[in-house]
Amino acid sequence: MIYRASLVVALVVYLVAVTSIAQENTTATNPDAPTPETPAAYTAETILEGLNTVVRETFTGVVTAVDAGDLLSLKRNETSVQVRLYGVDCPETGQNYAEEARAAVVKAVLDTTVSVQILTEDSQGLPVALVFDGTGNCLSHVLAAEGLAWWDDRNAQKDALLRKVNAKAVSAPKGIFADTAALAPWDYRKSNELPDFEYTLEAPKPEPKPAAAPAIEEPRSISAKGTMTENRPRPAAAPGLEPASPGTSPAGGMPLSIPGIPADVVKDVNVGDLLMRHQPRIATDSSGRPLGLTANNVSSIPHASEYGFEEGDIVSRVNGIPIESEAQIMGLIPQFMNVRTFQVDVLRNGKTITKTINVK
């Protein structure tokens, strides 16, 4: 029963991972990619935690060309799109290390699937994005750490993490910064009358305060003897979740109890750790329509690799049911507990792949 429960969890919420047993991140790195200071240090959760901004759109795509160290062309659903890497500015053609920066990005991501989070648009009309490679590392920060890009303090002035990464590369010195007379690319563009760009990040809008609910008098009833008593309804549990039993709260995490799944399957789950590590989210298309569920560091999610899931996959349907929100998942888990055959539709590189998995 425990094996079947784990299998169902892996199939339905392998990207959410809130009901799988936590494992160490074993994502393999690309031997040809530039080695960051600390592997998997520049992940989405680490970066977004320090950015007071809104992610406009998230999607995956295949890198078809590296136009410059900080400019990528991607194929997304049969459509080509060019994006600018957020927060960094690589040397222009004609400057030292321009080719080295481009070559590093080519080795890291060309012809591979990357995760893209659009933050804003620049003055040239290009999307400005955080782009994450197969290891979950952000290309902008890897380039800055290796001294192959400048921290773009004009457009990302408040980014403390990039400032810190850049300072380490300068003090080492690495790459560009081995030359004490190196000219910043924005100064190079200005002196050569080349087009420049600028952008700003959108601050999140404050959540509106909910309107106060009208006071509702509690129902009252009269006993047969005429004594007035009050019938107070018990507070209901949150939809899809049951109160956790004593002793089932994982260390450092929130209690987890899911209807239809044995408590011993989820008793050691650290929800916060898994959500931070994999950042499950709903991927959308350009119009905002939900495509399905995706996450970071897929290979380290329990059972994901075993069932053939890969980095950048988007789970769009399970047994014909579209996956449109994280909240929806909780209701599907108990529904599938006694199902033995699963048809899982996966969007991969713009194409739909259907996986049939039988439970023995």
> What string of DSSP letters covers 221-247?
EE-TTS-EEE-PPPPPPPTT--PPPTT
Higher-pLDDT residue of 331 and 152 is 152
CB atoms within 10 A of CB 222: 9
166 lies in the same domain as 75 = yes
User: pLDDT digit string (tens) for 11-55?
Assistant: 444 433 333 332 333 333 444 544 444 445 788 888 888 888 889
Higher-pLDDT residue of 51 and 258 is 51
Q: For residue 227, is it within any domain?
A: no
277 lies in the same domain as 344 = yes
User: pLDDT digit string (tens) for 69-80?
Assistant: 999 999 998 899
Of 165, 191, 217, the position where a domain reaches its end is 191
260 lies in the same domain as 341 = yes
- Model confidence at 245: pLDDT above 70: no
15 lies in the same domain as 62 = no
62 lies in the same domain as 15 = no
Of 191, 222, 254, the position where a domain reaches its end is 191
187 lies in the same domain as 52 = yes
Q: For residue 39, is it within any domain?
A: no
Structural domains in the chain (count): 2
168 lies in the same domain as 246 = no
User: pLDDT digit string (tens) for 158-179?
Assistant: 888 999 999 999 988 999 999 8
Per mean pLDDT, which range of 101-110, 190-199, 264-273, 285-294 is the poorest? Answer: 264-273
Q: For residue 36, is it within any domain?
A: no
pLDDT of residue 114: 93
56 lies in the same domain as 18 = no
Q: Can you list the positions of beta strands (E) in 98-183?
A: 113-121, 127-132, 150-151
153 lies in the same domain as 112 = yes
> Model-level pTM?
0.51
CB atoms within 10 A of CB 230: 8
Q: For residue 53, is it within any domain?
A: yes
| Mean pLDDT, rounded, of the chain | 74
Q: For residue 221, is it within any domain?
A: no
**Can you give the CATH number for the domain in which 156 is found?**
2.40.50.90
Q: Which two tokens stand for residue 22?
A: 């936590």
Determine the Cα–Cα distance for residues 87 and 152; give it in Å rounded to an integer: 5
With b meaning 16 or more CB within 10 Å and e meaning fewer, what string describes 233-252?
eeeeeeeeeeebeeebbbee
**Can you give the CATH number for the domain in which 10 is found?**
2.30.42.10
81 lies in the same domain as 182 = yes
Q: For residue 149, is it within any domain?
A: yes
Q: For residue 266, is it within any domain?
A: yes
Q: For strand 127-132 and strand 113-121, is the pairing parallel, antiparallel, or unpaired? A: antiparallel
Spacing of C-alpha 339 from chain mean position: 29
Determine the Cα–Cα distance for residues 69 and 104; give it in Å rounded to an integer: 8
Residues 133/106, Cβ–Cβ less than 8 Å: no
**What values do phi and psi take at 286, rounded to 5?**
-65, -25
Of 166, 191, 216, the position where a domain reaches its end is 191
Residue 240 falls in which region: left (phi positive, over 0), alpha (psi -120 to 50) or beta? left
Higher-pLDDT residue of 141 and 265 is 141
Q: For residue 226, is it within any domain?
A: no
323 lies in the same domain as 353 = yes
Per mean pLDDT, which range of 120-129, 221-230, 244-253, 316-325 is the poorest? Answer: 221-230
103 lies in the same domain as 132 = yes
The domain containing residue 274 runs over which residues? 2-24+241-358
- CA nearest to 126, candidates 196, 222, 33: 196
∠ Cα 48 279 81 (to 5°): 70
